[in-house]
Amino acid sequence: MAKTKKLVAKKPAPTVKKSHKSSDYDAKHITVLEGLEPVRKRPGMYIGNTASEGLHHLLWEVVDNGIDEAMAGFCTEIIVELLPKNQVRVADNGRGIPVGIHKATKKSALETVMTKLHAGGKFGEGGYKVSGGLHGVGVSVVNALSENLKAEVKRDGKLWEQEYKKGKPVKKVRPVGKAKDTGTIITFQPDAEIFTVLEYNWKTVLNHLRQQAYLTKGLTIKVVDSRESKDKKSYVFHFEGGIASYVRHLNHNVEAKHENTFYIEKQIDDTKVEVALQYTNEYKETLFGFANNIYNPEGGMHIAGFRTALTRTLNSYAKKKEIIKDAKDNLTGDDTKEGLTAVVSVKIKDPQFEGQTKAKLGNAEVKPIVDSVIAAALTSFLEEHPRDAENMIGKCLLAQRARVAARAARDTVLRKGALEGFTLPGKLADCSTRDAEKSELYIVEGDSAGGSAKQGRDRDFQAILPLRGKILNVERARLDKMLANNEIKSMLIAFGTNIGDQFDISKLRYGKIIIMTDADVDGSHIRTLLLTFFFRHLPELIKQGHLYIAQPPLYQVKKGQEIKYAYTESELTKITDEFAKAAKSKEKAKIEGKVEENLETEVNAAEAGVGETAEIGGVKLNIQRYKGLGEMNPSQLWETTMDPQTRTMMQVTINDVQAADETFDILMGSEVAPRKNFIQTHAKSVKNLDI
């Protein structure tokens, strides 16, 4: 029996006398952040983050004020100009922000709007019937997060002006000249103390403003790049066709299934519904939902109403024309998705979004309105365009047959896993941990790289799945054909999530899925094929941050026994320069008598392995270009690419769904011309091209 330790009672330690009186916690302990201070204190609460996304959000907020004026019928033109020193100027020809004295604040309405949260024309009656902003924080947040901001208002025959620094007014609102027309001009400079990224991306700005122009029929948006060291360039967006033009733009790289684009615009009470759709020969669905010009990535009631009406109307027409003769052959919602490109835009008086990000529209009353508008208009469209109707329903019936075949193929994949006692693919070298959050799956190219990775990994938490050859290009294949591909089947069984309507992310076996391919043309192609597969069929893995791309080194630089790795061309230059400088320092020390022996060692190619010996700055270095992961021994692969302490990985994210969708269309779609144009445009910017 173990000995027990005798417990000796100790004199209690002195205690600090605590008071439980409520008077010890009073008003003086409450911190109140006045005006715009909370925005500067917690900017992420208002704009998402302080990186590129948040920076661009400032511009969207200012532009939205002009678009609100346009939706109200008072603005026909918005000019956005990118200026030197990361400044931006946004001008509209709307009514101009009121400048009179506000009764509650006793200050100019302009100053109130610019310096107070939840102040604006979007509350109560008489301001805007329809607007994108709900909370009245838009332009005041921009002011708070700007180093400098100048507001100019053309109104009542005068040009009014007020300047601000970090949200605080420098002077009172005052007239500085005359004005013939009306409008508002906001010029701002994002605060370098707040943002980690300060330069606006020209392509991001263009894509967003083009989209807004499509959604606001008849509005002209001019975009000008006047920044230093940039070629001055400009674009003008104006679409009388509205979202019908938008659908045609989305389909410009693919073959349409029918000639006429379905389009309807109708107002019912305070709700305006605008919908356009067209089917293509593709297998994916492209569907965008907007409420008051705000993109809703998770859809909502307007999308639910659209889907219900589309499926019901196509079934009704097909039965009427005896294309479908039995109820069991009715099209499902999934059947009507394949190849569909559609934009659903609603403008409503009081939108209710789920969350500040406005990802989903929650207004239940919108669903039956959209449903009835679509049902009536689409029925007329199908009757008036019988050939288009036949092609649309034919596309859906083809998708239906593929769905049935895909279900059988998917069941076969799952049944195979079950019959083998949930045995994972034979070529998978699994990890020992069953904790999904800690485990990692490396998808590697070929048996050679797979062998190095299996030997070099940490077996506790790292699994390796080698792929033999290139997987199927899923951009050009239906689910049934895709599931017949052995490499895709192996991945799906390894992931454990299933696919399609049976996808369940809670069953994911690995917290990180890492694509690790060679740094050559074939490796890039395989990586693109894999990214296409994840984007089209397992997008939730990307959205929830589970997909990564490994970054193996491009070069090994060896001098004597000293080895360094370079992951980019610039790093290679930096490393060779460091070796040269170190050699010069030693030579100088030797001359001065501080070093007796010559420490520099000549390295030849035989000693360094396969590589190229070069003399740089008087130093002989062996520089090896890695074209394949198999060229690295297991310890090198672990040290450079797989060790969590030293590796570099890129996380795959989707910042712009439309841009990503279009890029995959170009790179992996069936149309050759757009891909040829893409290659010609970007050919000169490609580095390390191995042919």
Which residues have a catalytic role annotated? 445, 518, 520, 522
Q: Are strands 146-155 and 88-92 parallel, antiparallel or unpaired?
A: unpaired
Both tokens of 527, joined, read 């990586």
Output phi, psi for 456, to 5 deg. Answer: -90, -20
Tokens of 541: 């893995």
Closest by CA position to 211, among listed 264, 282, 289, 285: 289
Q: Residue 209 and residue 190: Cα distance in Å, rounded?
A: 19
- Give the C-alpha separation, 282 to 256, whole Å: 9
Structure-derived torsion over alpha carbons of residues 20, 24, 27, 29, reported in degrees to the nearest 10: -100
Q: Write out the two tokens for 571.
A: 């790093």
**Could you give the 3-state DSSP secondary structure of residue 595?**
coil
Q: 14: which DSSP letter?
A: P
- List helix spans (H) across 102-228: 109-115, 138-144, 202-215
Strand partners, 616: 619
Residue 590 contacts by C-beta under 8 Å, 6 or more apart in sequence? 596, 598
Q: What is the C-alpha end-to-end distance of the chain, expressed in Å?
A: 76
Which tokens hold the place of 352?
Answer: 């209710």
Q: Which of 117, 107, 109 is nearest to 142 (CA)?
A: 117
Largest Cα span, the chain: 101
| Residues in contact with 524: Cβ distance below 8 Å, sequence separation at least 6, in sequence order | 517
Q: Are 575 and 582 in contact (CB under 8 A)?
A: no
> How long, in residues, is the chain?
691
| 529's tokens | 């094929």
Residue 159: CB partners within 8 Å, gap ≥ 6?
Answer: 152, 153, 175, 176, 177, 178, 179
Residues 6+ away with beta carbon under 8 Å from 679 = none
Alpha helix (H) ranges present in 116-179?
138-144
Q: Using N-to-C axis directions, what is the helix angle for 672-682 and 657-668, rounded to 10°?
A: 100
Nearest alpha carbon to residue 307 among 273, 342, 272, 346? 342
Q: For residue 535, what are the β-bridge partners?
A: none
Matching residue, tokens 């009672």: 9
Closest by CA position to 541, among listed 508, 516, 517: 508
Phi, psi values for residue 400, rounded to 5° = -60, -45
Give every CB contact of residue 596 below 8 A, 6+ residues apart in sequence.
590
Q: What is the Cα–Cα distance from 493 to 164, expressed in whole angstroms?
A: 59
